[in-house]
Every structure is written in structure tokens, then in C-alpha cells.
Structure 1
Amino acid sequence: MTSTEQLTRERADLLQTLRRHRGFLLHTVDGLTDEQAATRSTVSELCLGGLIKHVAGIEERWMLFAVGGAEAMQREEVDWVGQFQMAQGETLAGLVERFRQIAEQTDELIATLDLDAAHPLPQAPWFEPGASWTVRRVLLHVIAETSQHAGHADILREAIDGAKTMG
């Protein structure tokens, strides 16, 4: 794993913040069974295992973008519904392991990528037409996504067994 001591202050700050929010998310699912992780504990379609899967996928796709732009990000089609659910045969341990592998790859990239390098965003109704994002902006987006979903996970966990992981 990349040592933050070897990174510039900005890179170290970005990496430390991302790691903190990943840690919050992973702490939320600690000790759950696969059945609990797949439980829809609110009126939402979200489950904890699905959130782990979604955040891993988000991080992976955005880091593909950081390296190779929209084309690299869109090589594989996204299952917009299934990414939030645990599929038949998926386990929480397997989803967490994949999340950690992607996190490790991202940590290594943060140490090497030019934070000022930019790529045009993919065409989508939620992006400004013709806009580009720098690698720095991509990392901030991944941090925001991870943080937001860690909060969602905390609510779902509390509805399952009363545990409050962030409060």
C-alpha cells in the first residue's frame, strides 16, 4: 500500500480523506451476515452489500476515467439496478474483498497520476455538455460518493440491528 509519507501534501490529504470514508463504510458492515447485508431495511431499494458493491464500482470506473478518459470508463456496461443489490451467490466477504482490491489500486494511482490532467466527461444528462474533469476533481468526486454512501449505510445498519456506526 502507498505510504502517505512519500506523497505530496495534497495527495496525502486526498488519500487520507478517501481512506477515512472507506473505513466508515467498511465499519458499517462489520460483523454482518450475508443475509443481513442483503436486507432492504428501509423503504429504499438499497442494501448494505449493494452499497459496498456500488461504491467499489464507482471508484473503479472513475479511476479508469482518470487514466484513460470516458472511453476507458465506459468499456463495460453498468447494471444500474443490480449494482445496488447483492446478486445470487455474492457474499459480503467477497464484495468487501473486491472493494479493498479496488481501493489498493486507487491508492497506487493517486501516487502517480498528474492531478491536473483532464479528460472530457462522458455524455450524460447529469454532466454539462463539453465539460472536462481533472484527476483531482475525479478524486474529490470519489471521496464525495464514498462519504455519501457511508451515511446511507449507517442508516441501513441502524434499521437492521440498531447499531450506529457513525453516531
Structure 2
Amino acid sequence: MPDTTTLDQPAATGERADLLESLAHHRTMLRVTARGLTDEQAGLRTTASELCIGGIIKHVTSVERVWAAFIQDGLAALGDVTDLTDEDWAQRAAEFRMLPGETLAGVLDAYEQVAIRTDEVVRSLPGLDVSHPLPEAPWFEPGGRWSARRTLLHVIGETAQHAGHADIIRESLDGALSMG
């Protein structure tokens, strides 16, 4: 991943640098799974799951975008997760597929833009202890709060997990090993 430090943002140090470096590593591992693929290949399902490499990258992009906004803006970034509509669920399902007109280059570019933004948000924080309450939802602990640190660890975990999924899909697609 290229250095996204800008003139306005100092280089991260200490724990912040470690977290950003770990996230950058897992982002790279995910991107490597798409190396050399055509748009059609990026949209192919090669396992019993509904997942494809392009869709995984779209999903991770969305996850990172939402959680970086949460770090900065709190609950407002998550929207109302207690009353999701059929349209909301359909939109979420579409994150996992390459849709007509989408290209792998476009998906990767969107991911890069979100990565740059996340890194800017993390570098600009007064500290990693900045926290916000989580919404009331069955998948969050009641009354829970996540610090920027905890939120970044969640994004790192999601990225690493989905990079592993993408690696399996890629190996099933053409035998390429992106992590081996």
C-alpha cells in the first residue's frame, strides 16, 4: 500500500502506526487475490458460498467506510440498524456480488479511496480512546461502546477474514495462491 500520509497529516507513530500497518497488510493481501483477474473472473463463484472476489472487496470497502465514519461521527454513521427493510437487506446482499456494469478496476479504486480516507481519519484522531456508543441491536452488547482502537481492530479482523475467503476463492478459480 502506498504511503497515504499527506502534508496535513503527520505520520502515525506507536500503537496507531502498528494498527494502520496491520490494516495495510491485510488490505494488500486482499488486493493480491484479485491480481491479474478479468472482470468476469472477479465475479465468479467458485465455492458453495455466494462469495466472489470482486464482491468480497466491495463488502470490505463498505465495512471499512462505515466503521471509519463511526470512528469520526459515532452512531449517525451506522444509521438505524434496528429496522432494516427488505431493500436494506437486498443492498447488503448486492455488496457481495459484482453487478452488471461494475469492473474490478472500479471496485479496487473505490477500496483504495476508502483506505486513504480511513488512514486520514485515524491519523487525525486526538487518541485511540475516542469512543462512541453502539446502537441497540442483537449483534452488539447492550449499552456497549467502541473506542477507535476497538473499531480499527474490528476492521482489521474483517479484512483479514475476508482476505482468507478471497484466497480460497482464487485458488478454486485458477489454482493461484495469493497467501502461500
Q: Fold match, TM over 0.5?
A: yes
Given that residues 120 and 131 in structure 1 are in contact (C-alpha distance below 8 angstroms), is that contact kept between their aligned partners in structure 2? yes
* Most deviating of 115-124 and 136-145: 115-124
CA RMSD in angstroms comes to: 1.8
Pairing partner for 2:35 from 30, 42, 46: 30
Matched residue, 1:155? 168
* C-alpha separation in 2, matches of 1:7 and 1:39: 38
* Cα offset, 1:49, TM superposition: 0.4
* Cα offset, 1:6, TM superposition: 2.5
- Structure 2 residue runs of 5 or longer lacking an equivalent are 82-87
Number of equivalenced pairs? 167
Matched residue, 1:102? 114
Q: Deviations over 1:73-124 (max 9, x none)?
A: 2289562211111111111100000000000011111111131111111222
- Structure 1 residue runs of 5 or longer lacking an equivalent are none
Residue 63, structure 1, aligned to residue 68, structure 2: yes
Matched residue, 1:85? 97
* C-alpha separation in 1, matches of 2:178 and 2:77: 35
Given that residues 10 and 123 in structure 2 are in contact (C-alpha distance below 8 angstroms), is that contact kept between their aligned partners in structure 1? no
- Secondary structure in structure 1 of the residue aligned to 2:128: coil
Give the % identical residues. 53
- Secondary structure in structure 2 of the residue aligned to 1:125: coil
TM-score by length of 2: 0.88
> Aligned partner of 1:98: which letter?
A
C-alpha spacing 1:75/1:128, structure 2 compared with 1 (3 Å): closer
TM-score by length of 1: 0.94
Higher helix share: 1
Residue 134, structure 1, aligned to residue 147, structure 2: yes
